[in-house]
Every structure is written in structure tokens, then in C-alpha cells.
Amino acid sequence: MRRKRMFFLIVFTLFAVMLDASVLPHTGLNMRYVPRICLVAVALIGTVLGSIQGIIYGAMAGILLDITVYQPAGLVAVVYTLCGLIAGFISYRTRAYLVTLIPPAVVMLFYTAVMSLYVYFSTGVYPADKLGYALIQMVISMFLVQLLYLPLVKILKPTRIGRRRRA
């Protein structure tokens, strides 16, 4: 069972990287509104399986995106690793009925903040116009998390989801 889970997570992450890096940019969609599918996958894995798995698959996805996407080497890997950590950490401390809302929102906000700071420090211009697009991306990403959360829980069968209340 453990090997099947690991194989599924690797394929899930690779599929998200392929969608993010090579398929979606060539579909003709307005990329301002298209969410980061790979970031959604990392947030889902961190939310469902916890911080350690979020870190592992966030680092894997970030390294693969660093190889395929034009960014400074290592920036996306570090940010995605931290996003997996944040998703797992927050999902463990969140009540069960909010576990699909709060961790993905915080992860998307963290990613947007880090990338906006990167653009600001590299160009000297703050990308204020991109914040509206980032909000739309966050809403679409949260919808995707809602859509994929229950099938992923059914497939992976995690041992814990969210914080359990004591009797």
C-alpha cells in the first residue's frame, strides 16, 4: 500500500508539473487567471498527508519547475517546499471543516507575496496590478482544492485530517 501511495503521489506531482510547465501556457488561455496547478497539488498533498509529505513533494515539484521554467535557480524549489510545510502545518492545527479552505488560501497568499517581493527587488517596481489577478487565481485554486480534496482522501486514506477535538 505504501508503494502504491508513493507511486500515485509521484505521478500526481509529475502530472501537475507537466500541466503547469508545458500544457497550460500553450492552450491560448489568459495565463493571468490560470492558477498554478502544481501549487494546488503541493497544497493538497500537504493538507491531506501533513508537513513531511508536503515538504518532500513540494521540493520535488519545485525542482522540476526550476528545471523547466525560466526563474532564478532554486527560487521555486524553496518556495514550493515552504508551501508544502505551511499547508501541512496549518491543516494539522485547523478544524476539520475548515481544512480545505484555510491551508490553500495561506499557501496561495504566501506564494504571491514571495513572488511579488522577488519582482520588486529584481526590477524596483512593485507589481500592484498583478495582485488582482493573484486574488482571482487564489479563488480558482481554492475551488480546485475543494474539487480534488475528497477524491484524494479516498485514494490516499490518510491517518489523520485536521485537529481532533478531545472529548
Q: Look up the CATH number of the domain holding residue 84.
A: 1.10.1760
Closest CA to 9 of 66, 59, 69: 59
Q: Tell me: the pLDDT tens digits for 51-74?
A: 999 999 999 999 999 998 777 778
Do the domain assignments include residue 166?
no
Q: Give residue 1's pLDDT.
A: 61
**Structural domain for 17, as ranges:** 2-156
Count of CB atoms situated within 10 Å of the CB of 147:
11
Do the domain assignments include residue 91?
yes
Closest CA to 44 of 75, 84, 78: 84
Cell matching residue 73: 535557480
Do the domain assignments include residue 77?
yes
Mean pLDDT of 104-120: 89
Structural contact between residues 13 and 57, judged by C-beta atoms closer than 8 angstroms = yes
Do the domain assignments include residue 161?
no
Do the domain assignments include residue 12?
yes
Do the domain assignments include residue 164?
no
Q: Report the predicted TM-score, pTM, of the whole model to 2 decimal places.
A: 0.87
Q: Give residue 21's pLDDT.
A: 87
Do the domain assignments include residue 167?
no
Longest dimension (CA), the chain: 54
Structural contact between residues 165 and 98, judged by C-beta atoms closer than 8 angstroms = no
Do the domain assignments include residue 151?
yes
Q: How many domains does the chain have?
A: 1
